[in-house]
Amino acid sequence: MVDPLDRARSVLTEVHRAVTTVDPTAVTALSTAITAARAVFFDARGRSGLVARALAMRWMHLGLRVHVAGETTTPAIGAGDLLVCLSASGRTAGPLTNAGVARARGARVGVLTAAPNSPLAAAADVVVVVAADSHQHGGSLFEQACLLLGDAMCGAFQHANEIPDAALDERHANLL
């Protein structure tokens, strides 16, 4: 049996490589687009969808107007808004369709993907390429790196805007 701690060290090495090889200009462009948007919508499927939801929650805690595509209370997207899609393949049907809807409604599109030449990347205004070449199972590296990058963007925004943790706590869910 493989030692779980040896496996964890291998995963950390892969995540480090994936995060540190991302183009910092692209990350800055996505961060700027998120913070400048009237409202930010996140979209992804599967485990990437869980990461998208986590990032949407964090941006909401920071005070941005944030929604998750497909939820029953999500309003229409429009001009001044941003759709952020996560898709390693850049071919996931839902985000690809929603990127087209967003563009047709005058919204901008940001994409985190491992496939810079994909249809989703082609539909985007801002593309962050996240390497996903991994020995891990089923896309784990892409999801791990996107969560870490997204949380780092949120942390940088919080620090730059001197938002105290207490302000995030005030926006934290309080219903059971």
> Domains in the chain, please, with CATH?
4-162 (3.40.50.10490)
Residue 42's closest CA among 72, 76, 70? 70
Secondary structure of residue 43 in the 3-state scheme: strand
Separation between Cα atoms, residue 61 and residue 41, nearest integer Å: 15
What is the pLDDT, as a whole number, of residue 138? Answer: 79
Question: Does pLDDT of 137 surpass 90?
Answer: no
Separation between Cα atoms, residue 65 and residue 60, nearest integer Å: 6
Secondary structure of residue 86 in the 3-state scheme: strand
Active site residues: 143
> Which residues, including other chains, have CB under 8 Å from residue 17's CB and lie 6 or more apart?
131
Using one digit for the tens of pLDDT, what is the confidence trace for 98-122? 999 999 999 999 999 999 999 999 9
Residue 157's closest CA among 44, 36, 71, 70? 36
What is the pLDDT, as a whole number, of residue 36? Answer: 98
